[in-house]
Structures are given as C-alpha cells and as structure tokens.
Structure 1
Amino acid sequence: MRMAKVSDLEILNGLMSVFRAKGYDGASLNELAEATGLKKASLYHRFPGGKKEMTAAVLDFMESWIINKVYKVLSDDKVSSKVRLQEALTNISAVYGGGKEVCLYRSLSMDTGMALFGEKIEKGINQWLGSFVVLGKAMELDEATATQFARQTFIDVQGSLVLSKAMDSTEPFLQAIKQIETRYTNA
C-alpha cells in the first residue's frame, strides 16, 4: 500500500515546529523527519542540502507569510487603517498559535542559526518593521513615531511570546496584542 503524499505546506509547518522548538543546532534529522511525516531519505530527497536547506526553505516560507499576511494587509489603502491593523494582528496571533508558539527568528538567532541565516533573519525582521511603519504613516504618524511604534510592536510581540512560554500562559501575548491595537488606535 502506498503512503499518502505529504504536502509542501505540511512539510514546511513540520520543519518550522521543530526549528521553533529546538533552534538550528538542536534540531535533529530524526525530529525533522518525524515532524514532516517523511522518512529521512525522503526528506533528503526533497532537501539535498540537508538541514541548512530545510532551514532556508522555512525562512523563505516565513518571509512569504510576512509579505502576504502582514505587509500586504497593512499596506492595503482600500481598507481603513483600523481594519488593516485588526486583520494583521489576527494573522500574527494565528501564526503564533495565540501565544503558544515561539518565534522562528528568535529560535534561529542563536549560535549557528544566526551565523548561517543572519541576513535572512534580519531581512524578515525589517520586513515586519517596515510593514508597521507603513501603517503608522497611513495613520498620519511622522516617520520617527511610525518607526518607534513599529519597533515597540515587534518588541511587544516577541517579549510577550517569551513571557507566555515562561509562564505557560497565553495571557501575556493576548494582552500585548490588545496593547498594540490600543497604541495605534489612540495615536
């Protein structure tokens, strides 16, 4: 009996879950294979460059997600700024499992991951920040304030994810999302 095919999305989500939990150095090929539903040989067939290629694919996937679910949403001037913000925050909440998941960039920004993928990580973070600067400008904030809000938004999300993990509670993340919305709404 033939095994069911595993979709690219399932593979990328499986890889991402391991890299989020273990970082680059801690992710073993056994764990990566298990998380994707593939045997190690099949995983290597799809990613002949090994773990490095797998990580690059996950970072490319995350970059695409940021462009489609944050940047394009926050840049859509056909929709009110408030609606754009709410949709982007809903998407951000979804990608982090409502505060249950850690950030891929944080996990990969340690040791070997940063050495190998520092440019991709920096690019992804800058795309995120740029997205919120666009929103801030659409809300008629000056460049400096829009940049400050964008940075604080990133810090709030990332810090709340760490706190949520440490406290085994999504409450810090959910509060941070509300605070971000309030910051922009009251600007």
Structure 2
Amino acid sequence: MRPKKVVDKDMLIGLSKVFRDKGYEGASLKELAEITGLKKASLYHRFPKGKQQMAEAVFTHIDEWVRANIFSVLNDKSKTPQIRLKNGLMNIKKLYAGGKESCIFNAFSKETGMSLFEESIKNSMVEWVKAFTEIGLELMLPIKKSKAYAIQTLIEIQGSLIVTKGLNDINLFETTLNHIEKRYLNKQF
C-alpha cells in the first residue's frame, strides 16, 4: 500500500510550525521531514532547493493568509472601521494561535534567515503598517497619529509574542490585542 499523500496546506502548516519553533537555522531537515510525514527524498522532490525553498513556501503561505484574513478584513469597506479593526485583531489572534505560536518574522530574522528574507520581512512589515495606518485614518485619527499607532501596533504584537513565550502566559497576548483595540477606538496613545 502506498503512503498517504501529504496535502500541501497541511505540509506548509507543519513546516511553518518547525520554522516558528526552531528558526531558520535551527530547523533540521530531519524535523522538517518528520513533521510532514515525508521522507527527506520526498521533501527534496517537492522542494529541490532544500530548506530555503521550504522557508520561502512557508513565508508565502503565511503572507497569503495574512492578506486574505487580516489586510482584506481591515480594508473591507462594507463594514465600519470599528468592526473591521475588531475582526482584524481577532484574525491576528488566530494567526498566532492566541499567542502560542511565534511569528515567522522572528523565526527568519536571525543570521542566515535575515540575509535570505530581509526584503520579504521588510515588505511585509510595511504592509502591516500601511493596513493599520489606513484603519486609523478611517477612525478619524490624524495621519501622524495614525502612522504612530500602526507602528506601535506592530511593535506590540511582535513584542508580546516574545514576552508571552518567555513568561509562558498567553493572557499577555490577548491583553495586548485588547489594548491595541482600545487605543484605536479611544484614540489615546
């Protein structure tokens, strides 16, 4: 009997977990193969350029999810900006499994990973800032304050993921998301 074929989405989720947990340098081919249920040869068949190509596929997969589930939600003009902000933050919570998952930016921003993914990381962060700046503008914040809120939002999301892991307290991530929502809606920095 032939082994069960690994579904691409499930494979990318598995690869993502290893990269998020171990970082680019720390992720071994053995761990990447084990998480997907594939042998190393099969993994190389799907990703002939090896670990770098796997990491690129993971980054693309997460980027597409963020665009579909966060940026498009924040930009959905059929809903009020308040509802869009709330829904966008809810999807950020999903992206990071309520604070249990590390950010791919962090996983790929060390040593070799940074040299390989610097441009992609920068472009993604610019998109995050742009999306949150726009929602701030729609909530009637002045441009300067809207951009400051957007940058602070990115800092708080990324920082809270690290602190949540370090203190082993996922409530910190939830508290951070609630604080972000209140800051935008109450317009206080």
Q: TM-score, normalised by structure 2?
A: 0.96
The CA distance in 2 between the partners of 1:8 and 1:136, in whole Å, is 36
The gaps in structure 2 that reach 5 residues or longer are: none
Q: Report 1:61-72 matches (<5 A).
A: 61-72=61-72
Cα distance, 1:143 vs structure 2 = 1.6
The CA distance in 2 between the partners of 1:167 and 1:185, in whole Å, is 28
1:137–1:146: 8 Å Cα contact kept in structure 2?
yes
More displaced 10-residue stretch of structure 1: 135-144 or 39-48: 135-144
Per-residue CA shift, 1:15-50, capped at 9, x if unaligned?
111111111111100000111121111111110010
More displaced 10-residue stretch of structure 1: 2-11 or 96-105: 2-11
Cα distance, 1:84 vs structure 2 = 0.5
Q: Which residue of 2 aligns with 1:31?
A: 31
Q: Which residue of 2 aligns with 1:127?
A: 127
Q: Which residue of 2 aligns with 1:78?
A: 78
Q: Report 1:108-187 matches (<5 A).
A: 108-187=108-187
Q: Which residue of 2 aligns with 1:7?
A: 7
Q: Which amino acid letter does the alignment assign opposite residue 8 of structure 1? A: D
The CA distance in 2 between the partners of 1:111 and 1:92, in whole Å, is 26
* Pairs aligned (count): 187
1:164–1:173: 8 Å Cα contact kept in structure 2?
yes
Q: Report 1:36-47 matches (<5 A).
A: 36-47=36-47
Q: Which amino acid letter does the alignment assign opposite residue 176 of structure 1? A: T
Cα distance, 1:52 vs structure 2 = 0.7
The CA distance in 2 between the partners of 1:19 and 1:120, in whole Å, is 16
The CA distance in 1 between the partners of 2:143 and 2:40, in whole Å, is 49
Q: Which amino acid letter does the alignment assign opposite residue 31 of structure 2? A: E
Cα distance, 1:149 vs structure 2 = 0.7
Secondary structure of the structure 2 residue equivalent to 1:45: helix
The CA distance in 2 between the partners of 1:75 and 1:155, in whole Å, is 21
Q: Which amino acid letter does the alignment assign opposite residue 80 of structure 1? A: T
Q: TM-score, normalised by structure 1?
A: 0.97
The CA distance in 2 between the partners of 1:91 and 1:36, in whole Å, is 25
Q: Which residue of 2 aligns with 1:93?
A: 93
The CA distance in 1 between the partners of 2:92 and 2:37, in whole Å, is 26
Sequence identity of aligned pairs in percent?
A: 44
